[in-house]
Amino acid sequence: MNGEFLMKFTGACLLSAAILLAQPAKAPFQATSTSQIDFHVAKDHSEVVAINNVEYELSGTGIPGRPPDDRLVLRKTVKSRQVVGDIGIEATTTVEAWPLGVNLKQAPLYSISVEGTNPRIVNSDLVVISRGLEEDEWWSVYQLGTGKRLFDTYVPLIQFSISRETLTLRYVGLEVPMDDVKDKRLKVPNVVAVLSYASSDKIIREALITCDDPKRAGLLRSLADSTRKITAEGKTIRLSISQNYPSAPATVSINIPVAEDDLDVAHVQAPPGVHVTAWKR
C-alpha cells in the first residue's frame, strides 16, 4: 500500500514539474510612465487644466479566453482637458494589455482607445470605461481578455449569479438610442431602449423595449426627462423608468425573467402598451 502511494505521489510530482517546465518563463521587466498636469489662463481669461494620468494594474487569474493562471498587465492612460467652471470635459482613455512576464516594449495584446475616463477592471472579466463627459452618464463594456466591446450601457453595470451553488456571473446593461445612432431600426419613434444580457465573453441576448405611443416612448427614452434603474432580484431583471422633477414620477416597471440562462421575453411583465421582444444587431 505504501509503495503504491509512493508511486502515485512521485507520478503527480513529475507531472506537476512537467507542466511547470512547459510554461514559458516570465522575463523580468521594468516600465516607467509619466503623469503630468498643466494649468494656464487662456486669452479669454478662462482657466484651463490639462491632465495626463498613467496607471498600471495587474489583473487576477481566470480571465475568459486566456490560460487559467494567466494575468494581464494593463497600462491605463487618461488624457483630459477641462475649462474650470464649464460643464463637461474633453478626455481620451487608452487601455493597453500585456500578459504578465512580457516586456512592455513589445506590442500589446490589444489596445482600446475611446473618449472617456475612469477605466476599471471588473471581476477579471471586463474592462469598463466611463463615457459620459458632459451631463449624461454612460459606460462602454469590453472583454478583459481580448479588448472586444460587448455593449454600451446608460445605467451602471449590473451583475448577478444565475446559480446559488456556483458563482456564474451574468452582466446587464441598458442602451438608450441617441439621435446619432447608426442602426436605423433604433431611430423608429416608438423605440425606448435595448437591454443587454451577457456573460463575460459574449452577448447572450438583447431585448428591444418599445412603446405603442411614440410621444410616451420619447419621454421614456429622454435622458433629460427620465431616470432609469436596473436591479436583479433572484432570476428576474427589473427595469424602472421614472419621470424627473418637477413631473410626477409615473414610474414604468418592467420585469424580465431569466430562464435557462436566457431572457424569457415570453413571460415579461410590463404595463399596457409597453413591449419587450428579442432583438439582434
Same domain? 169 vs 237:
yes
- Examine residue 223 and state whether it is found in any structural domain, yes or no: yes
Same domain? 163 vs 274:
yes
Better-scored residue on pLDDT, 276 or 164 = 276
CA angle 184, 190, 194 (to 5 degrees): 65
Per-residue confidence (pLDDT) for residue 24, from 0 to 100: 59
CB 278 within 8 A of CB 265: yes
Identity of residue 202: K
Same domain? 185 vs 265:
yes
For residue 4, what pLDDT band results from cuts at 50, 70 and 90?
A: low
pLDDT tens for each residue of 230-262: 999 889 999 999 999 999 999 999 999 999 999
- Examine residue 195 and state whether it is found in any structural domain, yes or no: yes
Sequence-ordered strand ranges (E) for the chain? 36-41, 47-58, 72-83, 90-99, 110-115, 117-122, 126-130, 139-143, 149-153, 158-161, 169-175, 191-198, 203-211, 226-233, 236-243, 252-257, 274-279
Same domain? 97 vs 200:
no
Q: Whole-angstrom Cα distance, residue 109 to residue 142?
A: 14
Q: Find the domain containing 109 and state its range.
A: 31-117
pLDDT tens for each residue of 42-98: 999 899 999 999 999 999 999 999 999 999 999 999 999 999 988 888 999 999 999
Residue 278 has pLDDT above 50, yes or no: yes
| Total domains present in the chain | 2
Same domain? 155 vs 266:
yes
Residue 274 has pLDDT above 80, yes or no: yes
Conformation bin of residue 118: beta by default, left when phi > 0, alpha when psi is -120 to 50: left
CB 95 within 8 A of CB 73: no
- Examine residue 127 and state whether it is found in any structural domain, yes or no: no
- Examine residue 82 and state whether it is found in any structural domain, yes or no: yes
Same domain? 112 vs 169:
no
Same domain? 170 vs 264:
yes
Same domain? 164 vs 50:
no
Same domain? 198 vs 102:
no
Same domain? 170 vs 274:
yes
pTM, full prediction? 0.86
